[in-house]
Amino acid sequence: MSNVLLAVTGGIAAYKTLEVVSVLRKRGEKIKVIMTEEATKFVAPLTFAGVGNCPVYVDAFKTDQGNIIHTTISQWADLLVISPLTANTAAKLHYGIADNLVTMVALAFNGPKIAVPSMNVRMYESPATIRNISALREDGWSVVEPASGHLADGEYGKGRYPDVSDVISEIDRMLSPNDYEGVNVLVSAGPTREAIDPVRYITNRSSGKMGYELAKAARARNANVKLVSGPVSLKAPYGVETINVESAREMKEAMLDNLNWADVIIMSAAVADYKPAELSSQKIKKTADELNLKLVKTDDILLEISKNKLPNHFVVGFAAETQELMENAKKKLQEKSLDMIVANDVSRKDIGFDSAFNEVKVICKNGEIIPLQRNEKRFIAHNILDIVKSHRIKIS
């Protein structure tokens, strides 16, 4: 649990910060909000207080139980997020102007800082704003780039508030340890689709959530991350190079193409075991009472990775099973020469496929078994990375 200080300035995107506050509150972070007077014209302080169940400060010259607000809050916070960052506030921070509570706190704060610029496209692209935001980067600010699209004033261009999940991802990165800095992590996620004809395919129920959380967790810990993803309905993780594939063959090629780049390979995708022996070039019509499909095995991606494994590689597999979980997982660990395998009981309805929760057993090459109790997949992902880090050190 961290102390996160949200600083809101006077832009129409101020209401988007309510979503950020809501997510952080649900996750159990300690929150305080500071606002400029201009920001209160867009969203009332009471609204932030209600959504965040947190104190909200606006007047820089009021005292809080005898304390000077801008100095005490700047010492309280683990992270400062200015959301949205207006062109006006960016200019003030560049030149060290402290004329409201937000700018006072920003100048007094010595910890990690995130800026989320959002404004009219012409304001954002003006030379002055470009210089000011560039100066913030040089001063150590992490800047979450605005999105492009339709703006509140009817124009189109770059300046929209980014996806809230991108802001949360950057908050996670700033609050997480940098223990994977310089490590290249290659993750596979989601199902594969094996085509029957132009409109039908064989697939499975994997949502890709576990793999995506692993990619996000690795990126949060400052790893360089590539994600090879089968077809899912999830947004590509912020700051992660995502390679989209469909079939098992495409996934194998993408994984092997990036194998030499990687230090850690986590194969969490649910790859189809079989595919149709023949692909019909036209849609198969519903004429006969029965349709018999001949299926053949797909390529064994983990086995191919094992064959091409380098001394620096640490390979993690997943075993999604509905019976004899540990026996099947241990067999897979040995047959594929893995360093670690994550045993996942997908017969349960409260974890696994389509769920935000998981409960797994991690089996290590040395025989150690580490149970990870039911938790959100984002926490399970960090637990798995903790174990990977520990065992990479032991074998390196």
Q: Which of 89-93, 128-132, 321-325 has the lowest mean pLDDT?
A: 321-325
Q: What pLDDT, in 10s, does the model give residues 251-293?
A: 999 999 999 999 999 999 999 999 999 999 999 999 888 989 9
Show me where the domains of the chain are located: 3-175, 184-395
Question: Is-catalytic flag, 204?
Answer: yes
Residues 6+ apart with CB under 8 A from 5: 31, 32, 33, 34, 73, 74, 76, 77, 79, 80, 81, 105, 109
Q: Among 92, 157, 81, which residue's Cα sits nearest to residue 119?
A: 157
Residues 6+ apart with CB under 8 A from 55: 32, 33, 49
> In the structure, what pLDDT confidence band is assigned to residue 9 with cuts at 50, 70 and 90?
very high
Assess whether pLDDT exceeds 50 at residue 201. Answer: yes
Confidence band for 393, pLDDT divided at 50, 70 and 90: low
Please give the DSSP secondary-structure letter assigned to residue 3.
E
How many other C-beta atoms are found inside a 10 Å radius of the C-beta of residue 3?
16
219 vs 71: which has the higher pLDDT: 219
- Whether the CB-CB separation of 156 and 149 falls below 8 Å is answered with yes
The rounded mean pLDDT for the chain is 94
Q: Which CATH class is domain 3-175?
A: alpha beta
pLDDT of residue 65: 72
> What is the predicted pLDDT for the residue at 351?
84
pLDDT of the residue at 1: 80
Summarised one tens digit per residue, pLDDT across range 53-78 is: 999 999 988 877 767 788 889 999 99
pLDDT at 223 over 50: yes
**pLDDT > 90: what percent of the chain?**
87
Measure the CA–CA gap between 248 and 13, rounded to whole angstroms. Answer: 42
Over residues 377-390, the mean pLDDT reads 96
Q: Which of 3, 204, 222, 375 is catalytic?
A: 204
Which pLDDT belongs to residue 62?
Answer: 80
φ, ψ at 299 (rounded to 5°):
-65, 140
Quick one: average pLDDT of 122-138?
Answer: 96
**Model confidence pLDDT, tens digit, residues 345-380:** 988 888 878 789 999 999 999 999 999 999 999 999
pLDDT per residue over 285-334, tens digit each? Answer: 998 889 899 999 999 999 999 999 999 999 999 999 999 999 999 999 99
Superfamily (CATH H level) for 184-395: CoaB-like (3.40.50.10300)
Please write down the HEC assignment for all residues of the chain.
Answer: CCEEEEEECCCCCHHHHHHHHHHHHHCCCEEEEEECCCHHHCCCHHHHHHHHCCCEECCCCCEECCEEHHHHHHHHCCEEEEEEECHHHHHHHHHCCCCCHHHHHHHHCCCCEEEEECCCHHHHCCHHHHHHHHHHHHCCCEECCCEEEECCCCCEEEEECCCHHHHHHHHHHHHCCCCCCCCEEEEEECECCEECCCCCEECCCCCCHHHHHHHHHHHHCCCEEEEEECCCCCCCCCCCEEEECCCHHHHHHHHHHCCCCCCEEEECCECCCEEECCCCCCCCCCCCCCCCCCEEECCCHHHHHHHCCCCCCEEEEEEEECCCHHHHHHHHHHHCCCCEEEEEECCCCCCCCCCCEEEEEEEECCCCEEEEEEEEHHHHHHHHHHHHHHHHHHHC
pLDDT at 394 over 70: no
Q: Identify the pLDDT of residue 153.
A: 78
| 395 pLDDT above the threshold of 50 | no
Compute the residue count for the chain.
Answer: 396
Q: Buried b vs exposed e over 49-87: b needs ≥16 C-beta within 10 Å?
A: eebbebebbbebeeeeeeeebbebbbeebebbbbbbbbb
Task: Note whether 112 and 141 are within 8 A (CB).
Answer: no
Residue 66 is predicted with a pLDDT of: 67
